[in-house]
A and B are shown apart, each in its own frame.
Chain A
Amino acid sequence: MKQVGVKRFSFSRIFMYLFLTLASLFSIFPFYWMFVMATRPSAAYNSIPPTLTPGNMLVENFKKVLNQIDFFGSMWNSVVLCTIVTVVVLFISSLAGFAFAKFKFPGKNALFIAILVTMIIPPQLGLIPQYLIIAKAGLLDTLQGVMILFFLNPLGIFLMRQYISESVPDELIEAAKIDGATNFKIYRKVVLPIILPAFATLGIIVFTATWGEFLWQFTVLRDPEMYTIQVALASLNNTFKVDFGMLLSGVFWATIPLVIIFLLFNKLFIASITEGSVKS
């Protein structure tokens, strides 16, 4: 859209950069401020004008966090939860996506539409019975109890079906069949290698969504020893008098790994999230 004769420095351009820079600052500021507060005593909060430079209590505040919650334990719980959920969802979705894309069987279209319809059901509708089922199965306060609900991922099947029907040629499957490969072997040896890029996309979507989900984890996990990081962080704010430096130190250390991963893979990250929502 480069146009001839547009001045390099027009007012509208200056305004544009100003607006974008303000938006960027608005987006980054809470991250920076979280870092500042994580390095300051709670008293820094009472100063006017507000403190905007880091102090020297980075370690001390984090020690206070460790006294309050099992930070590393709950981080580990979240990592385990998200990893298992992601792997299982990738497996279930790609297998089902493969079936919907390449096999003929009666009722295929109706079943696929049924899967799309399940996307519309709000997750809160079944919350109470889901909780009762997990309780009955003795899975309260366990990661298994949390993850079973997250295995249900209609979006994954939808994305995988689309990707497989677009990028796995029928001839390749026919050829493998003539060579005598079973269907599952075709899935493993032919389909899987081709759909690895789609795994990256769906994997990022599922991992991020599971990491940040709160309602269900908050409902199932009541025992502090089994907390995931979201529930543990939320519990920091549940005391009457909150130590802000400690609170934001916990949030800071829980957020920073994600931010680093995002910054390293930002292009893949943004593309995945966009693709996931636009395609559906």
Chain B
Amino acid sequence: MVFAKTLYPIVYLKRGVKMASLKRKHLSEEKKDMISGYLYISPFFIIFLIVGLFPAIFSMYLAFQKWNGFSPMEFVGLSNFKVVLTDPLFWKSVYNTIIMGIFGTAPQLIVGIILASLLNQAFLRFKQFYRVTIFMPYVTSMVAVALVFSVLFSNQETSMANYIIGLFGMDPINWGTSEWGTKIAISIMVFWRWVGYNTIIYLAGLQSISNDLYEAATIDGASKFQQLRFITMPLLKPFILLTVFTSTVGALQLFSEPTVFLGNNAFTRNEAMTIVMYLYRDAFRLQSFGTASATAIILMVLIVIIATINLLLTSGTSLRERGERK
């Protein structure tokens, strides 16, 4: 009895200690996870603060300064924006960017859908061969593509491009220096490099659509066209949105292709000068960091606007589609 009485508190105490230590260990485990969590994501955020966020904010500051990189900065209010927005060359670069954007991407998306639907046919032979060859241009760097095309589309009368249009009875074009020649050559180059990429994205989209849907539709007597209209198009839509979005944003940022294609003339002639080239020329050729930063901000606003229009337009068509179906 006595023995048991004395033992009891000890057992109780022990249990208490055990519970307390369990609890403390549990808590510290959670804390450890928390610390690890912050620690593991910190490399990204530290680098982001230094080379992402700070430069973005500093750009906005620079846009209101007059600065050539050496002499002290001078606050000039909105004058940089005024300079850029009244510069005919800036508007020329906007125009060039839009024209090359439309010619370079719109055909790409249409041809991409056609190629993807052909590649998706079950009976098609040599499928892998077609897939690989059509995708291959994507592997080459933009610089390599631009150089090859600068020779294919050179000003000489004997250039490949001039020979080919000559077969159709057309006169030679100055691809490197004329208003439309440069734009067409650069658009074809953008088309060539990206069409396979978009085809592969669409193909992934088509393959994600279950065959059962088509079989059910066939049994219900739906025509091929109806199947395309009511099964393929709606289900492929997220993929189309993705490619339209990425290629529009990409088109607005066009820089490497025209710069390398034009070589020596890149920053002295204006036939194919894009917005980013205009920015680059201001910053690194004319040492006008203020106006270049203003251009960078205008470009970002432009990208946001066009992305929004993009989203509105596409959601608009889906509303109309729904209306039609009702």
Q: Are A251 and B276 within 8 A (Cβ)?
A: no
Interface contact B36-A184, CB-CB below 8 Å: yes
B288-311 vs A, CB cutoff 8 Å, 1 = contact: the mask equals: 010011001101100100010000
State in angstroms the CA–CA spacing of A50 and B160 once bound together: 7
Residue numbers in A under 8 Å from B36 (CB-CB): 99, 103, 183-184
Residues in A neighbouring B39, C-beta threshold 8 A: 99
Asked whether A99 lies within 8 Å of B140 as measured between CB atoms, the reply is no
Q: A184-B36, A248-B147 are known contacts. Are A278 and B204 too (CB-CB below 8 A)? A: yes
**A242 contacts partner chain B, Cβ-Cβ < 8 Å:** yes
**Which residues 20-37 in A have Cβ within 8 Å of B in the complex?**
20, 23-24, 26-28, 30-31, 33-34, 37
CB pair B256–A128 under 8 Å, yes or no, is: no
- Chain B interface mostly: helix
Residue numbers in B under 8 Å from A27 (CB-CB): 133-137, 192, 196
Chain B residue numbers with a CB within 8 Å of A237 are 147, 150, 260, 263-264
Q: How far is the CA of A201 from the CA of B173 in the complex (A)?
A: 43
**Does B122 interact with chain A (Cβ within 8 Å)?**
yes
Would you give the shortest CB distance from A212 to chain B, in whole angstroms? 4
Known contacts being A1-B211, A20-B118, A237-B260, is A129 close to B33, with CB within 8 Å?
no
Assuming the contacts A95-B43, A183-B33, asked whether A2 and B151 have C-beta atoms less than 8 A apart, the reply is: no
Chain A residues near B47 (CB-CB < 8 A): 92, 148, 151-152
Q: Which residue of A lies closest to B34 (CB)?
A: A105
Q: Is B321 an interface residue (CB 8 A)?
A: no
Q: For B140, B253, B293, which residue has the most chain A Cβ atoms within 10 angstroms?
A: B140
Given that A124-B279, A251-B147 are contacting pairs, would A208 and B293 also be in contact in the complex, using a CB cutoff of 8 Å?
no
Q: Of B122, B150, B160, B293, which is within 8 A of A128 by CB?
A: B293
Q: Which residues of B contact A26 (CB under 8 A)?
A: 192
Q: How far is the CB of B23 from chain A (nearest CB, A)?
A: 16
| Number of B interface residues in the complex (CB < 8 A) | 102
**Which of these binds chain B: A56-64, A192-200, A253-261?**
A253-261
B38 within 8 A of A: yes
Question: Number of A residues contacting the other chain (C-beta, 8 Å)?
Answer: 96
Distance A108 CA – B150 CA, assembled complex (angstroms): 49
Q: Does B273 contact A (CB under 8 A)?
A: no
Contacts A126-B59, A130-B51, A130-B55 hold; do A212 and B141 have CB atoms under 8 A apart?
yes
Q: Is the CB of B134 within 8 A of A152?
A: no
Q: Is B74 at the interface (CB under 8 A from chain A)?
A: no
Residue numbers in B under 8 Å from A189 (CB-CB): none
Task: Tell me if B55 and A270 are in contact (CB < 8 A).
Answer: no
Chain B residues whose CB sits within 8 angstroms of the CB of A129 once the complex forms: 54-56, 58-59, 62
B131 near A270: Cβ-Cβ < 8 Å: yes
Q: Which of A240, A250, A270 has the most CB of B within 10 A?
A: A270
Q: Which residues does chain B contribute within 8 Å of A263, judged by CB atoms?
A: 132
> Quick one: which of A83-133 are within 8 Å of B by CB?
92-93, 95-96, 98-100, 103-106, 108, 111, 115, 118, 120-133
A125 touches B299 (CB 8 A): yes
Q: How far is the CB of A143 from chain B (nearest CB, A)?
A: 15
Also in contact, A121 and B148, with CB within 8 A (given A45-B156, A103-B37, A262-B139): no
Q: Is A75 an interface residue (CB 8 A)?
A: no
Would you call B251 an interface residue if the criterion is a C-beta within 8 Å of the partner chain's C-beta atoms?
Answer: no
A128 and B134 within 8 A (CB):
no
**What CA separation (Å) do A33 and B44 show in the bound complex?**
43
What are the residues of chain B within 8 A of A244 when measuring CB–CB?
A: 151, 154
Distance between A15 CB and nearest chain B CB, rounded to angstroms:
10
Q: Evaluate contact between A128 and B204: CB separation under 8 angstroms.
A: no
With A237-B150, A255-B140 already in contact, the answer to whether A278 and B239 are too (CB < 8 A) is yes
Q: Using Cβ atoms and an 8 Å threshold, which residues of chain A touch B256?
A: 214-215, 218
Rounded to whole Å, the gap between the CB of A24 and the closest CB of chain B is: 4
Could you tell me the distance between the alpha carbons of A248 and B204 in the complex, rounded to whole angstroms?
34
CB <8 Å contact, B192 and A126: no
B292: chain A residues at CB < 8 Å are: 128
Residues of A within 8 A of B264 (CB): 237-240
Asked if A211 is at the interface of the complex by the 8 Å CB criterion, the answer is yes
Please state if A24 and B140 are interface contacts (CB–CB under 8 Å): no
Using A95-B43, A212-B142 as known contacts, say yes or no to A48 and B163 having CB atoms under 8 A apart: yes
The closest CB in chain B to the CB of A3 belongs to: B218
A19 and B40: CB pair below 8 A? no
**A53-B309 Cα distance, complex, nearest whole Å:** 49
Question: How near does chain B come to A97, taking the closest CB pair, in angstroms?
Answer: 9
Known interface pairs A127-B296, A129-B56, A148-B51; 4 further A-B residue pairs with C-beta atoms within 8 A, sorted by A's residue number: A99-B37, A111-B45, A259-B139, A266-B135
| 29 cross-chain CB contacts under 8 A | A1-B123, A27-B133, A27-B137, A30-B137, A30-B152, A33-B152, A92-B44, A95-B41, A100-B41, A103-B33, A105-B34, A105-B37, A124-B255, A124-B296, A125-B299, A126-B55, A126-B58, A128-B59, A128-B289, A177-B29, A214-B260, A219-B284, A236-B147, A239-B264, A248-B148, A248-B151, A269-B139, A274-B201, A278-B242
The 10 closest A-B pairs by CB, nearest first: A126-B55, A129-B55, A103-B37, A212-B141, A99-B40, A105-B37, A237-B263, A129-B58, A214-B256, A183-B36
